[in-house]
């Protein structure tokens, strides 16, 4: 009998196939005591396993490239955390085996993360994956992971670690469904980059029996269990129609009546450039520069290394617009040389621009490298700061840009409600705004972007979030300046139309989403987008806002 379930759709497309489950977690190692004379040998075993796992994560990142590389390098740093390793050594010194010492040390750190506020609690899944890999190596058993199969399938898991998601083979994994996670989790972001349909935060996902045929609609979040012939034909026909529409949509982003909306790409480094160019991106709306800083050297990259990486990206978009976000460290991206290690809630502490202003040499080197990388190129370079709270922050960043000799435009990200509420004030110091809707939702609703239990509050259709977008866009329009969106909200074709109606002047997203958004905009006038935006803001819930906007744009 056909059954319909509803999760959170995070990656466009439809997948129909049999269920295959992710391998089960590593078993807890036995708690047996070792003689004191064996402690040094066990400590050596633990260090070797940790180093091997870190090396494997880095190798996986090199293979995957793009955004996945930075995520996996951050996991490698987690594996080799000095405080964690010191705890492992201490536990082994008082009688634990290497595997038990690792297991208990990670459990202790896990508890700290889980109780340190929801932002850090969202990193528990990444920590568990690192622990499992180390323990599996010490026990000499295979690491549970993506199942072996000769036939394509739909993958089901409690959650997917970045190391697994990054190397999924789209030829075999038709799509995936997870019980946990949220629309902005690492797995969701990587799924969009791979072009694999995905649904997260589906209650009871792991109860779907092995071999059950399901249909996954990554656009709507719908899961159809044992779909009948009529439903399968309906979904397949919709997928074909969508594909035909996408292939016919080319050129710059614009509404059907000619209102231009530049469609830009979010990239994590030079490896993401080919996909952005192939998708027809008109430039880069968010160049995350963290990939350069997340290595194991314990220090910031040299100016020369930064120049080389930045120039590779800038050269790919002659005459195009490239918006670079300076280093966004802190919270889930701690850097030993930059961010405090003892903050009770790092998400609300010294992160983003705050970290850089505390370390002006790091900011100065990055801005100087960007200035030199752009020399002689026709590209339109723009540089923006993360976590800008007010005009004082904006002025400090603008002053640093001028002191570094940067001739590019400089702007501020709107990720904190105060920045949206005081957008006109901030625009007295900078030349553009860029809305990071993921963090803006997180701080507006006090809802961690990585926690599935609060995913409804991370829904970018929440009317309160749309109100803040509208406030920012209105402030920019009043000052004669631009206001783009570079959060994942821009990757939703329907929401892209609403954002356009709210007055947003550009949209930036993962490269795989650009054709979908281009096609959706081309089917509606600016007036229709404005009516849809008004209808969405008049709603009380995210679901009602989505339904109201869809009704306006479909002419219902």
Residue 130 tokens, joined: 């690192």
H or E stretch at 60:
helix 39-64
Looking at per-residue pLDDT, the higher value among 150 and 331 belongs to 150
- Written as one string, the DSSP assignment of 240-266 is HHHHHHHHH--SS-B-TT--B--EEEE
Give me the helices (H) in 345-485, please: 353-358, 360-374, 391-403, 417-421, 423-426, 437-445, 463-478
- Answer whether 65's CB lies under 8 Å from 90's CB: no
H or E stretch at 517:
helix 514-522
Give the pLDDT mean for 263-273.
90
- Report residue 58's pLDDT band, with 50, 70 and 90 as the boundaries: confident
* Listed ranges 111-125, 162-176, 223-237; the one with the highest mean pLDDT: 223-237
Alpha carbon separation from 213 to 14, 17, 171, 226 (Å, rounded): 13, 5, 17, 5
Interval 171-217: pLDDT, tens = 889 999 998 877 766 677 778 777 789 999 899 998 999 999 999 99
Residue 359 appears among annotated catalytic residues: no
Phi, psi of 463 (to 5 degrees): -55, -35
Radius of gyration of the chain (CA): 24
- Report residue 501's pLDDT band, with 50, 70 and 90 as the boundaries: very high
Instruction: State the pLDDT at residue 323.
Output: 97
Whether the pLDDT of residue 268 is over 90: the answer is no
- Report residue 165's pLDDT band, with 50, 70 and 90 as the boundaries: confident
* Listed ranges 129-138, 187-196, 531-540; the one with the highest mean pLDDT: 531-540
Give the pLDDT mean for 393-417.
96
Looking at per-residue pLDDT, the higher value among 156 and 186 belongs to 156
Instruction: State the pLDDT at residue 249.
Output: 72
Looking at per-residue pLDDT, the higher value among 166 and 31 belongs to 31
> Strands, E, within 38-152: which ranges?
none
Give the pLDDT mean for 313-340.
83
Give the pLDDT mean for 136-151.
79
Question: CA-to-CA distance for 252 and 260, rounded, in angstroms?
Answer: 8
Residue 415 tokens, joined: 């990720």
- Tell me what percent of the residues of the chain surpass a pLDDT of 90: 54
Helices and strands of the chain, counted as H and E runs: 22, 16
> Strands, E, within 474-544: which ranges?
482-485, 506-509
Interval 342-354: pLDDT, tens = 777 777 888 899 9
Instruction: State the pLDDT at residue 428.
Output: 98
Instruction: State the pLDDT at residue 312.
Output: 93
Catalytic residue among 186, 401, 497, 529: 186
Looking at per-residue pLDDT, the higher value among 126 and 229 belongs to 229
Instruction: State the pLDDT at residue 121.
Output: 46
Instruction: State the pLDDT at residue 410.
Output: 96
Catalytic residue among 12, 401, 483, 486: 486
Interval 427-442: pLDDT, tens = 999 999 999 998 999 9
- Tell me what percent of the residues of the chain surpass a pLDDT of 70: 90
Nearest to 385 by CA among 362, 406, 412: 412
- Report residue 112's pLDDT band, with 50, 70 and 90 as the boundaries: low
Give the pLDDT mean for 421-428.
98
Instruction: State the pLDDT at residue 332.
Output: 60
Interval 472-487: pLDDT, tens = 999 999 999 999 999 7
Looking at per-residue pLDDT, the higher value among 504 and 163 belongs to 504
Residue 259 appears among annotated catalytic residues: no
Question: CA-to-CA distance for 336 and 257, rounded, in angstroms?
Answer: 51
Instruction: State the pLDDT at residue 116.
Output: 47
Instruction: State the pLDDT at residue 431.
Output: 97
For the sheet containing 14-21, what is the strand order? 3-6, 222-225, 213-217, 14-21, 153-157, 173-178, 198-200, 8-11
Question: CA-to-CA distance for 154 and 176, rounded, in angstroms?
Answer: 5
Question: CA-to-CA distance for 486 and 495, rounded, in angstroms?
Answer: 13
């Amino acid at each position: 009998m056909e059954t319909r379930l509803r999760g959170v759709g995070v990656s466009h497309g439809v997948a129909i196939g049999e269920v295959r489950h992710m391998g089960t977690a590593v078993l807890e190692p036995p708690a047996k005591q070792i003689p004191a004379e064996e402690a040094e040998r066990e400590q050596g075993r633990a260090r070797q396993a940790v180093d091997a796992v870190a090396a494997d994560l880095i190798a996986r990142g090199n293979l995957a490239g793009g955004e996945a590389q930075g995520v996996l390098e951050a996991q490698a740093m987690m594996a080799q955390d000095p405080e964690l390793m010191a705890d492992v050594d201490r536990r082994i010194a008082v009688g634990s085996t290497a595997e038990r010492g690792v297991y208990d040390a990670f459990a202790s750190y896990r508890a700290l993360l889980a109780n340190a506020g929801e932002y850090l609690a969202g990193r528990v899944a990444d920590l568990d994956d690192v622990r499992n890999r180390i323990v599996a190596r010490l026990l000499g058993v295979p690491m549970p992971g993506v199942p072996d199969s000769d036939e394509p399938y739909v993958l089901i898991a409690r959650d997917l670690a970045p190391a697994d998601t990054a190397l999924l083979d789209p030829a075999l994994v038709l799509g995936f469904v997870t019980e946990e996670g949220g629309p902005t989790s690492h797995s969701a972001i990587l799924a969009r980059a791979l072009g694999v349909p995905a649904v997260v935060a589906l209650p009871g996902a792991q109860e779907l029996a092995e071999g059950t045929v399901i249909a996954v609609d990554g656009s709507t979040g719908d899961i159809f269990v044992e779909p009948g012939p009529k439903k399968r034909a309906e979904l397949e026909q919709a997928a074909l129609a969508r594909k035909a529409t996408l292939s016919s949509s080319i050129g710059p982003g614009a509404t059907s009546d000619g209102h231009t909306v530049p469609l830009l790409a979010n990239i994590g480094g030079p490896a993401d450039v080919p996909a952005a160019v192939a998708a027809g991106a008109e430039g880069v709306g968010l160049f995350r520069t963290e990939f350069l800083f997340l290595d194991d050297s314990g220090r910031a990259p040299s100016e020369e290394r930064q120049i080389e990486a930045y120039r590779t990206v800038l050269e790919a978009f002659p005459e195009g617009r490239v918006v670079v976000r300076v280093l966004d460290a802190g919270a889930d991206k701690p850097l030993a040389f930059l961010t405090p290690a003892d903050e009770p809630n790092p998400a609300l502490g010294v992160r983003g621009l705050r970290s850089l202003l505390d370390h002006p040499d790091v900011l100065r080197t990055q801005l100087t490298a960007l200035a030199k990388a752009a020399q002689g190129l026709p590209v339109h370079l723009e540089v923006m700061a993360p976590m800008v709270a007010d005009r004082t922050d904006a002025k400090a960043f603008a002053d640093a840009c001028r002191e570094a000799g940067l001739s590019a435009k400089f702007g501020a990200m709107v990720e904190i409600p105060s920045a949206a509420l005081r957008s006109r004030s901030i625009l007295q110091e900078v030349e553009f705004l860029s809305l990071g809707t993921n963090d803006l939702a997180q701080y507006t609703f006090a809802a961690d972007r990585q926690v599935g239990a609060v995913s409804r509050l991370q829904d970018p259709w929440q009317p309160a979030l749309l109100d803040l977008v509208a406030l920012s866009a209105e402030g920019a329009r009043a000052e004669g300046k631009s206001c783009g969106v570079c959060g994942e909200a821009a990757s939703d074709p329907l929401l892209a139309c609403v954002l356009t109606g709210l007055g947003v002047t550009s949209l930036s997203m993962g490269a795989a989403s650009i054709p979908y958004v281009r096609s959706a905009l081309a089917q509606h006038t600016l007036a229709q987008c404005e009516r849809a935006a008004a209808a969405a803001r008049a709603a009380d819930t995210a679901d009602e806002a989505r339904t109201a906007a869809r009704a306006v744009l479909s002419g219902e």
